[in-house]
Amino acid sequence: MALLSVDVSRKNLLEESVINFQEVFGAQPTLVASAPGRVNLIGEHTDYNEGFVLPVAVDRSVITAAGPRDDEQLAIHSKNFNSLVQVPLNNLCATTEDRWSNYAKGVASFLLRKGHHLRGANLCIAGNIAEGIGMGSSGAMEVAVAYSLCALNGIRTDELELIKLCQQVENEFVGINCGIMDQFASVSARKDYALFLDCRSLSLEYVPFPSGVTLLVCFTGVKRELTSSEYNLRRKECLLATKLLADAIPSVRALRDVSLEQFENYRHLLNPTLQKRCKHVISENLRVTQAVEALKRGELLEFGSLMYQSHLSLKADYEVSCAELDTVVDICAEAKGVYGARMTGAGFGGSAICLVKDEYVNDVITRLKTEYPKMTGREPLIFTCTIEGGVDVRRL
Ligand code: GLA
């Protein structure tokens, strides 16, 4: 999604989506779906290694207003791109032009491939999550469209099946080999809870988000074009490392299965780059489980220290940070009332997050607004988030 003012509230967005639908299609939508973006508290680049993640869904969403059509066409309007794409349901292909529409076309295409019947539909898409900000806008868009099309067509399907379908759309239709975290958080999140997800068994545990603590997001202003190719490259490196380690340790199916001790014993089988990638993934999985324990015990300083360690590991070993993200984390680390800070999401730009005691939020914001531009020459976009529940569909 292109950046729409991040100050547009969800309620306004819902109202705007309905009005937008009426203007574009000259009719009333029959339903509105709202799917939240996510912030990952810790556990980065672990989901596609069958490891652990700890995201929360936030008060930034993608909204789709939807209604039926009498023909076999899918018409998708993007408010943020001010663009309308119309395609027949029997010819849904990904295109380089109007790339934003691929997520919606992909969802329709995969619902059809799974044997569901779809009638023609009009969709209006809007949102207040910016693309490239590292808050899961693509996953949220897939989820909003999937729930809209299922509701429009009376398709009853299991939550998990839809989550996997959305991930498959991104992997096979859009061409980004992402893991399952973003789509999972957007569907299954619970208000005021973080989601501790085991990305192998897909079992999840809700862990209360602490009170008296604010989740601050600072977008660096850096959107890297490289993201998809570098992301896919990291994934390939992990697969290769898994294969090499599995030849020596037969019980290894994913990097999730490698202990730190095994890694030390067999690291000589890997080239220096692969060693660094593995070190990050293996240590990050340990950090997530420790962080969950710390959160449950209310040990926020310990939780924060794990966030800093995670950032360092993403910077030095996984090499997905950048100078701007490091600067945000450094500024936060110096500020009073901060428990921890780290980059969130895929990296290569995007946002860093900071957990800060409520009473110090304004001080941290002021500090970031003053120091970040001086140190980087860029303007940050800073906002606080509330922790929200998953996708919501309303019939009108
Ligand atoms: C992106 C992907 C997720 C996950 C993160 C990194 O957000 O969509 O599946 O891999 O990057 O943790």
Do 124 and 176 lie in one domain? The reply is yes
Active site members: 182
Residue 274: inside a domain, yes or no? no
User: How many structural domains is the chain composed of?
Assistant: 2
If pLDDT is split at 50, 70 and 90, which confidence band does 13 have?
confident
pLDDT tens digits, 180-238: 999 999 999 999 999 999 999 999 999 999 999 999 999 999 986 656 788 999 999 99
Model-level pTM? 0.95
Q: What's the one-letter identity of residue 382? A: I
pLDDT per residue as tens digits for the range 257-288: 999 999 999 999 999 999 999 999 999 999 99
* pLDDT-derived band at 2, boundaries 50, 70, 90: very low
Whether 154 and 303 map to the same domain: the answer is no
Look at residue 33 and tell me whether its pLDDT is greater than 50: yes
Say yes or no: 236 and 293 in one domain. Answer: yes
CATH number at residue 233: 3.30.70.890
Residue with CA closest to ligand 1 atom 2: 178
Cβ(181) – ligand 1 distance below 6 Å? yes
pLDDT of residue 130: 81
Mean pLDDT of 150-157: 96
Based on the fold, state whether residues 320 and 234 are members of the same structural domain.
yes
- Substitution candidate for ligand 1 out of 48, 49, 164, 181 with most atoms within 8 A of CB: 181
Closest CA to 96 of 85, 110, 107: 85
Cβ of 346 less than 6 Å from ligand 1: yes
Determine if ligand 1 sits within 6 Å of the CB of residue 13.
no
Residue 325 counted as domain residue = yes
Q: What is the mean pLDDT of residues 165-179?
A: 94
Q: Calculate how far, in angstroms, residue 170's C-alpha sits from the geometric centre of ligand 1.
A: 11
Q: Are residues 128 and 30 in the same domain?
A: yes
CA angle 306, 311, 312 (to 5 degrees): 95
Whether 128 maps to a domain, the answer reads: yes
CA of 212 to the centre of ligand 1 (A): 28
pLDDT surpassing 50 at residue 1: no
The residue whose CA has the least distance to atom 8 of ligand 1 is 178
Mutate to test the pocket of ligand 1, among 46, 166, 170, 182 (most ligand atoms within 8 A of CB): 182
Q: Do 101 and 28 sit in the same domain of this protein?
A: yes
- Tokens found for residue 80: 């943020």
> Is 203 a domain residue?
yes
170 pLDDT higher than 80: yes
Q: Is the CB of 50 under 6 A from ligand 1?
A: no
- Residue 224's pLDDT is 66
In a domain, 288, yes or no: yes
- List CB contacts of 308: < 8 A, sequence separation 6 or more: 329, 333, 340, 341, 342
**C-beta 182 within 6 A of ligand 1:** yes
Is residue 271 a part of any domain in this protein? no
- 175 plus 34 within the same structural domain: yes
Q: Answer yes or no: do 149 and 233 share one domain.
A: no
Q: What is the pLDDT of residue 141?
A: 97
Residue 343 has pLDDT above 50, yes or no: yes
Do both 66 and 189 map to the same domain? yes
Distance 342 CA to ligand 1 centre (A): 15
230 alpha carbon – ligand 1 mean position (Å): 12
The pLDDT assigned to 11 comes to 72
pLDDT of residue 225: 60
Q: Give the range of the structural domain holding residue 227, as residue numbers without chain letter.
A: 213-240+282-387
Task: Give the span between the Cα atoms of 66 and 327, in whole angstroms.
Answer: 42
Q: Which two tokens stand for residue 203?
A: 């079992």
Considering the domain architecture, whether residues 190 and 71 belong to the same structural domain is answered as yes
Q: Across residues 368-380, what is the average pLDDT?
A: 97
Supply the pLDDT for residue 226: 52
Domain identity same for 73 and 86 = yes
Assigned token pair, 14:
């819902």
Instruction: Kindly give the number of the ligand 1 atom that is closest to the alpha carbon of 346.
Output: 11
Longest dimension (CA), the chain: 66
CATH of the domain at 14: 3.30.230.10
Does residue 181 sit within a domain? yes
Question: Is 95 contained in some domain?
Answer: yes
Per-residue pLDDT, 6: 45
| Angle CA 175–122–183, to nearest 5 | 40
Residue 3 has pLDDT above 50, yes or no: no
Chain mean pLDDT for the chain: 95
Strands 55-68, 121-127: pairing kind? antiparallel
Same domain, 31 and 169: yes
Residue whose CA is closest, atom 9 of ligand 1? 179
E strand or H helix at 305: helix 300-316
CB contact at 8 A, 181 and 47: yes
